[in-house]
């Protein structure tokens, strides 16, 4: 394993929402501060010079005392080692939380689906929108809004992002629910929405000189994508098991009989702590094989033969949430990737033409 630059603590599997696209199974497991201290202390020698410590759930604000205790412990025992991040549905955020986040320089990921939020759970709207206003007022640089669109809500994508851009949020991103197949008509609807979003984005960028929508930021990724799980990151789950990335738990964590469970789970925390580092090498080697050039589609055609290989990055777990088989990418995943990448390329090409025209006119 490389040096660890990212640790995720999935504090509990309880949540106050039931989002239709969430792959997590709800439960009543919760981490204890003792588990978190043991996990962090054990990994201290393997931490990179700077690392991210992420709080995740369920809804992590349901475990607020645990967030505070962990931050106090880390600040005392790991001086300046970690930056914190927390992913939340936003419904429980109060001013007290925001001031704490600001004091400890958290980077928040707030899940809010714009015009599609009412399809998610209409009761959540007032609380989440109030939290967004408070965040914008007290900690405008501290959060990114992630909006998820499904095959049903994709017709709301462009208008939702336009509204969020108009509200002046500094960082936005859209994601797609990839747990269920996208039919041809739904792929076409996505392509239309992204065409519109490119136009909205270009107008916004020309007027404001910036682009808060991170999907349109040109990727600095060079070479072939490889999943980072178990290589430079680890996650501690609420049932005290350790995985290379929390997403593997969503896929395999409730199915110990699945042969992939033993292949990708580093074991329970006690086992993880008692096994010498070499004991983890076999599991780490399994993660190391999750590279884009080793993936293939349902017809057994390898991504390594694809002309787009170096421009493509598909999370193997997200793809497997639909196929149930790691490293096998369904054909529609591939088409969705091509549609989103084409929109990014159109936006960036238009921006280069615009910058070129501006510099010629000055
Ligand atoms: S590619 Fe997916 S599974 Fe791998 S580290 Fe990223 S989010 Fe986790
Ligand atoms: S576009 Fe499809 S075939 Fe090509 S690298 Fe990406 S997932 Fe693989």
Is any atom of ligand 1 closer than 6 Å to the C-beta of 317? yes
Ligand 1: centre distance to CA 341 (Å): 19
Is any atom of ligand 1 closer than 6 Å to the C-beta of 229? yes
Is any atom of ligand 2 closer than 6 Å to the C-beta of 194? no
pLDDT at 251: 94
Lookup: tokens for 111 = 């899940």
Provide DSSP, 106-155. -EEEEE--GGGHHHHHGGGHHHHHHHHHHHHHH-TTSEEEEEEE-TTTGG
Provide DSSP, 10-26. E-BS--S---TT--PPP
Residue 359: phi and psi, rounded to 5, are -70, -30
Is any atom of ligand 1 closer than 6 Å to the C-beta of 251? no
Which of 247, 251, 253, 321 to probe ligand 1 with, by most ligand atoms within 8 A of CB?
A: 247
Ligand whose nearest atom lies closest to the CA of 332 = 2
Give the chain's mean pLDDT.
93
- Average of pLDDT values for 38-61? 96
Residue 48: phi and psi, rounded to 5, are -65, 170
Ligand 1: centre distance to CA 17 (Å): 23
Across 87-91, 122-126, 213-217, 224-228, least confident range: 122-126
Ligand 2: centre distance to CA 332 (Å): 10
| 63 has pLDDT over 90 | yes
* Strand 4-10, strand 47-56: pairing: parallel
Is any atom of ligand 2 closer than 6 Å to the C-beta of 309? yes
Neighbours of 111 (CB within 10 A): 21
| 278 has pLDDT over 80 | no
- Average of pLDDT values for 315-333? 89
pLDDT tens digits along 147-169: 999 999 999 999 999 999 999 99
For residues 220 and 331, give the distance between their C-alpha atoms in angstroms, rounded to a whole number.
26
- Average of pLDDT values for 287-305? 91
User: Measured on CA atoms in the order 250, 253, 254, 258, is the torsion positive or negative?
Assistant: positive
Lookup: tokens for 336 = 């969705």
Indicate the pTM of the whole model. Answer: 0.93
Cβ–Cβ under 8 Å, residues 229 and 327:
no
pLDDT at 1: 63
CATH code for the part of the protein at 4-216: 3.20.20.70
Ligand whose nearest atom lies closest to the CA of 292 = 2
pLDDT at 217: 86
| 205 has pLDDT over 70 | yes
Ligand 2 atom at shortest distance from the alpha carbon of 296: 8
| 134 has pLDDT over 90 | yes
User: Measured on CA atoms in the order 74, 235, 144, 314, is the torsion positive or negative?
Assistant: positive
| 288 has pLDDT over 90 | yes
- Average of pLDDT values for 164-180? 96
Ligand whose nearest atom lies closest to the CA of 321 = 1
**Domains in the chain: boundaries:** 4-216
Ligand 1: centre distance to CA 232 (Å): 11
Across 138-142, 196-200, 254-258, 348-352, least confident range: 348-352
pLDDT at 2: 80
For residues 55 and 11, give the distance between their C-alpha atoms in angstroms, rounded to a whole number.
7
Lookup: tokens for 352 = 């280069």
Lookup: tokens for 328 = 């096998």
Write the residue with the smallest CA distance to atom 8 of ligand 1: 245
Write the residue with the smallest CA distance to atom 2 of ligand 2: 334
pLDDT at 361: 72
pLDDT band, residue 221 (cuts 50/70/90)? low
| Angle of helix 64-77 versus helix 95-103 axis, rounded to 10 | 20
| 362 has pLDDT over 70 | no
Cβ–Cβ under 8 Å, residues 146 and 169:
no
Share of residues in the chain with pLDDT > 70 (%) = 98
| 116 has pLDDT over 70 | yes
Ligand whose nearest atom lies closest to the CA of 335 = 2
């Amino acid at each position: 394993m490389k040096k660890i630059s990212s640790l995720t603590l999935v504090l509990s599997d309880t949540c106050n929402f039931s989002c239709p696209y969430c792959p997590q199974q709800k439960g009543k497991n919760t981490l204890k501060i003792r588990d978190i201290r043991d996990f962090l202390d054990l990994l201290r020698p393997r931490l990179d010079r700077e690392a991210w410590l992420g709080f995740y759930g369920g809804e992590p604000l349901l475990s607020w005392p645990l967030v505070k205790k962990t931050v106090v412990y880390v600040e005392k025992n790991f001086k300046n080692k970690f930056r914190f991040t927390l992913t939340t549905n936003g419904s429980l955020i109060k001013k007290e939380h925001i001031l704490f986040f600001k004091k400890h320089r958290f980077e928040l990921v707030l899940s809010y689906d714009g015009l599609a939020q009412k399809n998610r759970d209409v009761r959540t709207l007032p609380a989440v929108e109030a939290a967004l206003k408070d965040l914008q007022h007290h900690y405008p640089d501290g959060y990114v809004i992630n909006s998820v669109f499904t095959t049903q809500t994709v017709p709301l994508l462009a208008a939702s992002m336009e509204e969020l851009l108009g509200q002046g949020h500094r960082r936005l991103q859209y994601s797609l629910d990839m747990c269920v197949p996208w039919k041809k008509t739904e792929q076409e609807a996505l392509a239309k929405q992204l065409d519109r979003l490119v136009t909205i984005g270009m107008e916004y960028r020309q007027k404001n000189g910036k682009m808060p929508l991170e999907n349109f930021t040109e990727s600095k990724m060079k070479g072939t994508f490889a999943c980072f799980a178990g290589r430079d990151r680890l996650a501690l789950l609420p049932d005290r098991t350790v995985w290379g990335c929390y997403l593997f738990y969503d896929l395999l964590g409730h199915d110990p009989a699945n042969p992939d469970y033993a292949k990708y789970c580093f074991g329970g925390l006690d086992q993880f702590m008692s096994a010498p580092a070499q004991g983890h090498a076999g599991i780490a080697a399994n993660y190391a094989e999750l590279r884009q050039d080793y993936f293939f589609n349902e017809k057994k055609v390898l991504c390594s033969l694809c002309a787009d290989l170096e421009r493509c990055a598909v999370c193997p777990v997200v793809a497997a949430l639909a196929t149930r088989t790691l490293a096998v990418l369904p054909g529609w995943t591939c088409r969705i990737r091509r549609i989103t990448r084409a929109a990014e390329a159109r936006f960036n090409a238009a921006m280069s033409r615009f910058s070129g025209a501006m510099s010629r006119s000055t």
